Amino acid sequence: MASQFISPESIKRMRKDGGGLIFIMTSKEIADRLQLPFLAEMYDHISDRYPVLNKLAPYDIPYDTKSSFSLYINHRETFTGITDKDRSLTMKRFAEVIKKTNNIDSKVIKKTNNIDSKLAVKEFGKEFRSPGHVPLCVASEDLLNKRRGHTELVVALLQMAELIPAGSGCEILGNNGRALSKLDAKNYAKKNKFIFLEGKEIIQVWKQWSK
């Protein structure tokens, strides 16, 4: 869901009904403005000092060529950072910082450079600390033209809906410990009155929208 609308109840649902990692997804444009690094690239830059990071390089991810993970953050007003209240605060305030530093009004993303990246980083640092309990994932620069993971799909949806490009979500796991099957996911959506969308549907609409 859009991080601007997240609540403690949202985190509780993700934690209990989803069971996977709860994280934030954002665009490459926002990550660049806030100077957010990819963890894999950061590890590579300091691997001379910490050789173990060379051994941990994510070169064998079976579904991708590069991890989209960036920093893990907590809002500075959180306590441990892991509670439903704390994580929802971190996610909601992340969206608010994006809006403030990217000159975004409530409906339309204005692609301007009114606030310098250095000022955006300063504002980000005032609000958050790292490491924390909420991972940030950064979408591919060309979105669905280059990569079609959950991060890109969510950011594309948010852009089409003219919402702040920060999404909160988690993987849904089944009782067998594996990813929930498509059929079970459809049944869950129907039971809870959610709209069920497949990635290919989002891609099809986005291709027309982004022309």
Q: What is the pLDDT of residue 116?
A: 76
Task: Give the list of residues 6+ apart from residue 183 with CB closer than 8 angstroms, or none.
Answer: none
User: For residues 96, 22, 185 and 160, what is the CA-based torsion angle, rounded to 10 degrees?
Assistant: 30
Q: Respond yes or no on whether the N-terminal peptide bond of residue 131 is cis (omega within 30° of 0).
A: yes
Distance CA 129, CA 117 (A): 18
135: tokens are 């991972």
Q: What is the pLDDT of residue 105?
A: 43
> Please, what sign has the CA dihedral across residues 122, 5, 189, 162?
negative
Q: Mapping DSSP to helix (H, G, I), strand (E, B) and coil, where does residue 59 land?
A: coil
| Torsion angles phi and psi, residue 136, rounded to 5 | -105, 130
Beta strand 19-26 with 128-138 is: parallel
Q: What is the pLDDT of residue 3?
A: 98
Going residue by residue through the chain, which has 211 residues, state the pLDDT in tens, using 9 for 90 and above. 999 999 999 999 999 999 999 999 999 999 999 999 999 999 999 999 999 999 998 888 887 767 899 999 999 999 999 999 999 999 999 999 999 887 644 334 444 444 578 889 999 999 999 999 999 999 988 887 777 788 999 999 999 999 999 999 999 999 999 999 999 999 999 999 999 999 999 999 998 898 7
- Total-model pTM: 0.89
140: tokens are 């591919």
> Please, what sign has the CA dihedral across residues 68, 71, 76, 78?
positive
The domain 3-209 belongs to what CATH superfamily? DHBP synthase (3.90.870.10)
CB 3 within 8 A of CB 24: yes
Spans of all domains in the chain: 3-209
Distance CA 149, CA 71 (A): 18
End-to-end CA distance of the chain: 25
Distance CA 119, CA 34 (A): 9
Burial class (CB in 10 A: 0-12, 13-18, 19+), 101: buried
